[in-house]
Structure 1
Amino acid sequence: MPYPNNAEPATEFDRLVAIDHQHILHPQHHPSEHEKPLLWTKGEGIYLINDAGERFIDGLSGMWNVSLGHGRRELIEAATRQLETLDFATAYAGSSHRPVIELSELLSGVVYPSIKAFYFTSGGGEATDTSIRTARYFWRAQGRLEKSKIIARKLSYHGSTVGSASATGVDEFSDGFGPRLPGFLHIESPYPYRFVNPNPLKTQGQAAADLLEEAILREGPETVAAFIAEPVQGGGGGILVPQDDYFPRIRAICDRYDVLLIADDVITGFGRTGRWFGLEHWGVNPDIVQFAKGITSGYVPLGGIGVSARIKGVLDHAEPAKRWWHGYTYSGHPVGCAVAIATIGVLKKEGLIERTEKVGTAFLRRLQAELADNPNIGDVRGQGLLAGIEFVEDRATKRTFPGAANVGPRIKAELLRRGLCTRVLSDVVCLAPPLTATEDELDRIASIVIDTLSQPFDRFKA
């Protein structure tokens, strides 16, 4: 095995990293961020342990997904039992199996009341592509061939496949790969901290929602298939919690112009916000919901979508030759479904949905109270066990630090030095600890963040 500069590695860590550098392309790959990576070897509860035996709090639940923490026996045993009985069987039309059937029935009891049937994928990006294709199929099957445009929001994240990246409202996910697919457009996010209300006669939430109506009318309602939105914008926006009147108005606009509403609950599903699914906070029901991450607590890949009875009816009554020609090999994988069933069982048995709302409120209030006096903290926001701390160079103008100041990476490194591994997304420290974190553990996370961020940021400037 050749190594850089033909030098033999000094340690086992060096050997593994050398192989990593040679043979792996990482998500959002760039070698400048991977010279000395964290090499994880074990997970215990809310902790990740590296090759040196050092323990770090998993402040983002892996990638927003390990909601039950690491090492849950119920999930491990569910996967093992399923592997010992039926490791794989297709769920294509003409075949089925008990885990996918039981999971579908279980989901129907916890999801939005509007959702009646489910299709499973391997993750969130595939779920977005499935939602888009389903929305377009739904209208075409009814003879409305022009109704194909998808409206999304800036600062949204819906995945990195060709289709889901076209819906994603973060330019970096498209700029280096050529133009987005045609038929996708983006409106401004509600982003309460930064949204500039153009109409003083409307609330901020109403004005932000009305941007959807303006876009539909500009494009022509007969051309718009769906609007896709995260209940709380996480992976692109940095925990953007909308105004209380935003989504009810969005739902009314979609109804007015016969546009499907797709709720991207990949991050916000399965209790993360203190509800089973995010739009429940505002009493809104979508036509399509997409999910992944927390459905298996990240233990095995699984995602999917749920659709309304109206949509399922169109799919059920299509001519066989013009059926919904969509499918993935691993749709409804029996092991993924078995782990999902176990995950939902733990969420119910331990009352984690209700608990998340309670402890999340206390967690957020402490962060807000103890960071309020720092002139470099612009906004502290959150919902359930999602929290975002936005830092600024100047609070009065909300001016951000220049990228060359390298503030975000320095904050991330300092948090890591203090034992907290989490994500700093542009100018926002993001927190999404496991739903199983004890109150003492949440206090520990808050203390690390507060100790790191409570003083002015001069020490973080390059």
Structure 2
Amino acid sequence: MSVQSTESLQKMYESLAEKDKRHFMHPTTSLKQQQQQGPGLIFTEGKGIYLKDIRGEEYIDSLSSLWNVNIGHGRKELGEAAMAQMQKLAFSSTFATNSHEPVIELAEKVAQMAPGDLTMTFFTSGGSEANDTAFKTVRYYWQLKGQPEKKKIISRKKSYHGVAVGATSATGLPAFRSFPSLAPDFYYVDSTIESLKEMIEREGAETIAAFISEPVQGSGGVNPPPENYFQQVRDICDEHNILFIADEVITGFGRTGKTFGMEHFGVTPDVMCMAKGITSGYAPLGGMVISEKLRDELIDLSDGAYMHGYTYSGHPMCCAVALKNLEIIEQEGLVENVRRMGEEIEKGFHWLQERHEGIGNIRGIGLLRAFEIFEDKESKKRYEDPVSPKVAEEAMKRNMVGRSIIYEGQDTIALAPPFCITKEEVEKVITILDECLTAVKRNGNLSS
């Protein structure tokens, strides 16, 4: 690249950066940092597991952006599906019994893929809306059943369920709940059966509408459940007449090596929420899927309208993109590749553990993986100043976008690359992490 072209790209970056500071309010970002430093990377294109920024630099996207670009970047088929649908029918409302072909076909496809008797979908624009829809629907269900006092929602600490008012209130990470304001009737338990039982006994099952959980906690640290946890949760919910909601926003559509995360645990929830992977991030779409039992009771008990709906519930273009995305996942055997490459990442993490003292708590499933950094691995003592952000910073210097998680005192590095990642690319990611850990140690941030 010539000096002139480099200067030209830099000027383009600076022009966009100034506009960004003035006009774009970033999500989950320090407003002060945005104004002082401007945007970090400004991405312009992507291919497979790679992203390219406006300066022409290529980066490995090791977290599928926001756990969502499952089939990888740059799939023209999805753009073609979007264009074809927009040229045919860009939008039509699905309110008041109106419908269209893509939403009907997608609803049937989801029913075919979902576990058990989860067969009816309400579509949203994303995961937060899907979870809010679930909370309103389960409360509506108990109201129709003549039990309006059953309105409390129990979630797990370290859970993440979104940032709409209800979704934020269900999120078990205090950092998100400190942002005003919260909805009432949300409660949090540790990831133990004893904690759930104690909560039900204290609050009274007659006041509890539902329990919600991710199969594997994502933003809270990539935390798999304790052994037999969800089987016991299912039994407890059945015993106490409490609905069970599975938040499959991150884990759904293959991320764990099965179509849905709960399939690993042999459990079918009453309600399942989804988003991200249904379109691989190529279009904003989410949804709530309910069981046939719940569907039939809602139909039998209700006389008036189901007074809940978003303008873009079942957007035709988004549904068309989702159908093409799910077709690609199936035709290219990407869920099987998730299983294989997940095993390769786990091997890589154990190799890193042999080379770097302090790496422990290696965990995850499929292409949802993490490890933690300890000052003393035996006692689980963590560094007073977290190390994982420094590792992520070093990764950026080596052109890899990584994820550090330090919520609730953790010091975690997470990986969730696109499903199309190859063994050679996994090895490249592990090599970069090795270099990062070595650099952090050299800088005096890790014990020798």
> Could you say whether these structures have the same fold, taking a TM-score greater than 0.5 normalized by the shorter chain as the test?
yes
Instruction: Kindly report the root-mean-square deviation, in angstroms, between the aligned alpha carbons of the 2 structures.
Output: 1.8
Matched, 1:346 2:348: no
Matched, 1:438 2:422: yes
In the aligned structure 1, how far is the partner of 2:398 from the partner of 2:238?
Answer: 49
Q: Name the counterpart of 2:435.
A: 451
In the aligned structure 1, how far is the partner of 2:210 from the partner of 2:438?
Answer: 43
Q: Name the counterpart of 1:199.
A: none
Identity %: 42
Matched, 1:391 2:393: no
Paired AA for residue 363 in structure 2: R
Q: Name the counterpart of 1:274.
A: 257
Matched, 1:378 2:355: no
Q: Which runs of structure 2 are paired with 1:178-257 in the superposition (5 Å)?
A: 178=181, 180-189=182-191, 208-235=192-219, 237-257=220-240
In the aligned structure 2, how far is the partner of 1:13 from the partner of 1:372?
Answer: 41
Could you list the structure 1 runs, at least 4 aligned residues long, displaced by more than 4 angstroms after superposition: none
- 1:174-227 deviation digits (Å, cap 9, x = unpaired): 21324x3221000013xxxxxxxxxxxxxxxxxx12321221111101011000
Paired AA for residue 377 in structure 1: I
Match of 2:267 among 278, 284, 306: 284
1:222 and 1:183, CA in 2 relative to 1: closer, same or farther beyond 3 A? same
1:138 and 1:457, CA in 2 relative to 1: closer, same or farther beyond 3 A? farther
Q: Name the counterpart of 2:403.
A: 423
Q: Name the counterpart of 2:24.
A: 24
In the aligned structure 1, how far is the partner of 2:193 from the partner of 2:379?
Answer: 25
In the aligned structure 1, how far is the partner of 2:278 from the partner of 2:300?
Answer: 30
In the aligned structure 2, how far is the partner of 1:33 from the partner of 1:49?
Answer: 23
- 1:211-268 deviation digits (Å, cap 9, x = unpaired): 2122111110101100000000001x21101133111111111111111110000000
Gap runs ≥5 in structure 1? 1-8, 190-207
Q: Name the counterpart of 1:96.
A: 99
In the aligned structure 1, how far is the partner of 2:238 from the partner of 2:31?
Answer: 47
Residues 158 and 171, structure 2, Cα contact 8 Å, conserved in 1: yes
Deviation at 1:451, TM superposition (A): 2.9
Paired AA for residue 184 in structure 1: F
Residues 344 and 423, structure 2, Cα contact 8 Å, conserved in 1: no
Paired AA for residue 296 in structure 1: T
SS at match of 1:388: strand
Deviation at 1:16, TM superposition (A): 1.1
In the aligned structure 2, how far is the partner of 1:319 from the partner of 1:348?
Answer: 38
Match of 1:330 among 309, 312, 315: 312
Q: Name the counterpart of 1:307.
A: 290
Q: Which moved more, 1:121-130 or 1:441-450?
A: 441-450
- 1:391-411 deviation digits (Å, cap 9, x = unpaired): 122223222222xx3633321
TM-score normalised by the chain length of structure 1: 0.90
In the aligned structure 2, how far is the partner of 1:12 from the partner of 1:358?
Answer: 41
Paired AA for residue 48 in structure 2: G
1:271 and 1:330, CA in 2 relative to 1: closer, same or farther beyond 3 A? same
Deviation at 1:377, TM superposition (A): 1.5
1:349 and 1:274, CA in 2 relative to 1: closer, same or farther beyond 3 A? same
TM-score normalised by the chain length of structure 2: 0.92
Deviation at 1:114, TM superposition (A): 2.5
SS at match of 1:342: helix
- 1:13-38 deviation digits (Å, cap 9, x = unpaired): 11211111111111112145441511
In the aligned structure 2, how far is the partner of 1:412 from the partner of 1:63?
Answer: 15
- 1:38-61 deviation digits (Å, cap 9, x = unpaired): 111111111000011000001010
SS at match of 1:11: helix
Deviation at 1:373, TM superposition (A): 5.1
- 1:408-454 deviation digits (Å, cap 9, x = unpaired): 33211101111211211111111100001112112211221233236
Q: Name the counterpart of 2:5.
A: none
Residues 374 and 455, structure 1, Cα contact 8 Å, conserved in 2: no
In the aligned structure 2, how far is the partner of 1:379 from the partner of 1:21?
Answer: 39
Residues 67 and 276, structure 2, Cα contact 8 Å, conserved in 1: yes
Paired AA for residue 93 in structure 2: T
The alignment of Structure 1 onto Structure 2 pairs a total of residues equal to 431
Residues 58 and 421, structure 1, Cα contact 8 Å, conserved in 2: yes
Deviation at 1:139, TM superposition (A): 0.8
Deviation at 1:378, TM superposition (A): 2.7
1:89 and 1:220, CA in 2 relative to 1: closer, same or farther beyond 3 A? same
